[in-house]
Amino acid sequence: MQKTAIFPGSFDPFTVGHESIVRRALSIFDRIIVSVGYNSNKQGYFPLETRLEWISNVFKNEPGVEVTWFSGLTVDFCRKKDARFILRGLRTAADFEFERAIAQVNKAMDDSIESVFLLTRPEHTPVNSTIVRDIVRNGGDASKFVPPGVKLGEFKP
Ligand code: ADP
């Protein structure tokens, strides 16, 4: 049976840390659906369309990766996509506590879906989307924290 994982997140924007998790997980799953969670009450900094375009650039030569968005519960989206796995990355103990609660609640909602965690590479531990946004807002160069397909320099707020 094909193993499909949803990699849900805000990806505001997608970073080298996110990219590394997806590429490493390709040795575990046949198909990974990078899914930008959309919440109309919490628009985020980069528009949804921009985030999707950038992530699609990153994986344009990777047939095992799909890029899309969803709203609502991740477990409902997993069922819709016939995915039995939720992929997440862990950087720190704080990530673990946050992810533990979400994964246990997801498991309570749908026992057939497993959350799978990959530990970040040490060099990616300090990389996060909030810091990238702060650098961009203040006119700095955050390009080393994002994959080349994420064209921060072309973004006009
Ligand atoms: P969310 O808003 O759902 O936390 P994020 O876009 O911040 O979404 O992150 C999506 C997933 O990627 C989460 O599991 C997060 O822990 C993981 N992640 C974020 N940054 C990194 C990184 N530098 N290395 C590994 N995993 C990361």
Query: Which domain CATH number covers 60?
Result: 3.40.50.620
Ligand 1 contact, 51 CB (< 6 A): no
Which of 91, 81, 74 shows the shortest CA–CA distance to 20? 91
Q: What is the pLDDT of residue 156?
A: 78
DSSP H/E element including 103 = helix 93-109
Q: Is residue 157 part of a domain?
A: no
Task: Note whether 48 and 71 are within 8 A (CB).
Answer: no
Q: What is the DSSP letter of 92?
A: S
Q: Which residues of the chain have pLDDT under 50?
A: none
Q: Is residue 40 part of a domain?
A: yes
Q: Is residue 155 part of a domain?
A: no
The residue segments making up the domain with residue 105 are 4-150
Options 27, 42, 112, 144, the catalytic residue: 42
Q: Is residue 24 part of a domain?
A: yes
Q: What is the pLDDT of residue 29?
A: 98
Instruction: Answer yes or no: 107 catalytic.
Output: no
**Encoded tokens for 81:** 């996509």
Instruction: Answer yes or no: 88 catalytic.
Output: no
Mean pLDDT, the chain, integer: 96
Tally of domains within the chain: 1
> Hey, which of 6, 11, 15, 18 would you mutate to test ligand 1's pocket, going by the most ligand atoms within 8 Å of its Cβ?
18
Q: Is residue 156 part of a domain?
A: no
Q: Is residue 90 part of a domain?
A: yes
pLDDT in tens, 8-49: 999 999 999 999 999 999 999 999 999 999 987 888 999 999
Task: Note whether 75 and 59 are within 8 A (CB).
Answer: no
Q: What is the DSSP letter of 61?
A: T
